[in-house]
Structure 1
Amino acid sequence: MKIIKEEKTPWICDKCNKELQLNKVKVVYLGGNFEVELMQCPECKMVLIDEDLALGKMLEVEKGLEDK
């Protein structure tokens, strides 16, 4: 049986053309301060917030705050 290894394509910063790296990033969101691991450019420090995070956890928090 042959095992196929799935290779992931790295995220590349459009501005710097550098491969993004997983880093702990301080985030301010809806008045709260959080430290989370996100993909970040090592040069310009731009952060990638993927669709799952933006439409998942962040949307869930926003809806919870609106209900209060």
Structure 2
Amino acid sequence: MAESTSPTATTSKTKRPREDGEVLKNRLLDQQFHIGRYADPLVPRKTSDVQFWPRDVTPEMEKKWLAIIEEHRS
């Protein structure tokens, strides 16, 4: 006699990979990430970010350099 498979056994096999995929997807996602915290990368920035400046550079130095650059452009 052949053993019969129950319908619940076959449906659990098809749901299992889908559930595993969701678990893996949730592990890969950064739960702390929120897009609203970041500026739109396609919009030009009005000022450069001070945190990326070299240690000894000040805002006054940047203004002076930008003035020199503008003077030479015109």
* TM-score where L is the length of structure 1: 0.23
**Greater relative contact order (CA < 8 Å, ≥ 6 in sequence):** 1
Identify, as 1 or 2, the structure richer in strand: 1
* TM-score where L is the length of structure 2: 0.22
- Greater gyration radius: 2
